[in-house]
Amino acid sequence: MRIVGASSAFPKYHYDQKALAEAFLAYWGDKLPEPRKLELLHANVGVRGRYLSLPIEVYPTMKFGEANNAWIRTAVELGEKAIPKAIEQAGIDKSEISAFFFVSVTGIASPSVDALLINKLRLNPAMRRIPIFGLGCVAGASGIAMAADYVKAYPNKFALLLSVELCSLTLQHDDVSVANLISTGLFGDGSVAVIVAGDEAAKRCGHAGPDIVDTQATFYPDTEKVMGWDISETGFRIVLSQDVPDVIASHVGADLDMLLGKNGLTRADIGCWMLHTGGPKILRATAQALGVQEEALWASWECLSEMGNLSSSSVLMVLEKTMAKRPAPGTWSILAAMGPAFCSELVLLRW
């Protein structure tokens, strides 16, 4: 199995971090007991700017239904941009895609967004559709693993994975908790489309991306309060525990060693790392757990700085950036993300 295409797309509205912080200060005003805390949180998350689905002045008056309608509309717009570019990169015809995995945790739709895009782009009407909601930040890596499972069963076929995360549309107007203040400084909007080819199908493509050698999903029991959403009449309210870095540090290193051991490898064999851009604390905790230097996570740090945390799209953005600088042939690589429940997904790749 091989990744043969990866392409991102963003909304047209972009704001630097200072402008976003000023907008939140003006909006929340005297609701913030310590306004300086918001400024510090926004300044310390390692983000220079972010894309938003809508003009910044629209957000204060939006209700949940309006935000979700904007999510559907923008998700389709971004899918229309990202999917054709990924198909072109793979060097295939759109009719050759036989499975469509769609992942998101920032909005809901029925018919799902994949169905809307099949109509818009006139994709193969006989393809399998697999819309997935609720996996959160881990869904980019999990989506690759599930697409790999599909093409392993059907080696002459191609699978499409599309992640769209429009985190700005989950804004909670009256939530001034530390978790929400952090999220308003960290999360942004964007999408990535990835094409995964079976072994036979990959022979018809170039060598744009790495081979998928193995994958490993791990669920950590009784950690469901570490990360996720509380969903109510106002929409999606962030659940983000300060224990996230500790959970990562306690588990991910052992998970990695298990995956590598099954494939006769050690950490020293890995020459390229692609990790979810959860934020500075998450990246540092993950680097420590995996025993790698921060500079080895250059693509993750760059993506965090350029566009913030894009939930499930983040690790796919890191993949796209790494593919642009393609590591040397034969290089072993790990793509990894974590998400609600708490859980992790590791993907072993070789260039």
Cβ-contact 287, 253 below 8 angstroms: no
Instruction: Looking at the structure, tell me whether residues 165 and 269 fall in a common domain.
Output: no
Residue type, 281: K
Tell which of 168, 202, 236 closes a domain. 202
Instruction: Looking at the structure, tell me whether residues 35 and 117 fall in a common domain.
Output: yes
How many structural domains does the chain have?
A: 2
**pLDDT class of 176 with cuts at 50, 70, 90:** confident
Looking at residue 49, its pLDDT comes to: 96
**Percent of the chain clearing pLDDT 70 (strictly above):** 100
Instruction: Looking at the structure, tell me whether residues 16 and 50 fall in a common domain.
Output: yes
Phi, psi of 343 (to 5 degrees): -155, 170
Q: How far apart are CA 304 and CA 60, in angstroms?
A: 25
Looking at residue 217, its pLDDT comes to: 96
Q: Which two tokens stand for residue 37?
A: 């805390």
**pLDDT class of 202 with cuts at 50, 70, 90:** very high
Compute the C-alpha angle 209/350/136, nearest 5°: 70
- Region 121-138: what's the mean pLDDT? 96
Instruction: Looking at the structure, tell me whether residues 240 and 105 fall in a common domain.
Output: no
The Cα-based distances of 112 to 72, 119, 158 in angstroms read 9, 12, 21
Tell which of 142, 171, 202 closes a domain. 202
Tens digits of residue pLDDT in 74-108:
999 999 999 999 999 999 999 999 999 999 999 99
Instruction: Looking at the structure, tell me whether residues 135 and 167 fall in a common domain.
Output: yes
Instruction: Looking at the structure, tell me whether residues 193 and 290 fall in a common domain.
Output: no
**pLDDT class of 6 with cuts at 50, 70, 90:** very high
Q: Which of 137, 205, 272, 303 is catalytic?
A: 137
**pLDDT class of 155 with cuts at 50, 70, 90:** very high
Kindly tell me if the per-residue pLDDT of 30 is higher than 90: no
Residue 70 belongs to domain with CATH number: 3.40.47.10
Cβ-contact 195, 123 below 8 angstroms: no
Cβ-contact 94, 15 below 8 angstroms: no
Structural domain boundaries enclosing 328: 211-350
**303 is annotated as an active-site residue:** no
Mean pLDDT, the chain, integer: 93
Tens digits of residue pLDDT in 299-319:
999 999 999 999 999 999 999
Tens digits of residue pLDDT in 221-272:
988 888 888 888 888 888 878 788 888 878 889 999 999 999 999 999 999 9
Instruction: Looking at the structure, tell me whether residues 119 and 261 fall in a common domain.
Output: no
Instruction: Looking at the structure, tell me whether residues 59 and 128 fall in a common domain.
Output: yes
Instruction: Looking at the structure, tell me whether residues 39 and 97 fall in a common domain.
Output: yes
Looking at residue 290, its pLDDT comes to: 87
Instruction: Looking at the structure, tell me whether residues 194 and 235 fall in a common domain.
Output: no
Looking at residue 180, its pLDDT comes to: 87
Torsion of CA 85, 91, 96, 99, to 10 degrees: -50
Looking at residue 175, its pLDDT comes to: 87
Kindly tell me if the per-residue pLDDT of 207 is higher than 80: no
Residues 6+ apart with CB under 8 A from 153: none
- Region 47-59: what's the mean pLDDT? 96
Mapping DSSP to helix (H, G, I), strand (E, B) and coil, where does residue 89 land? helix
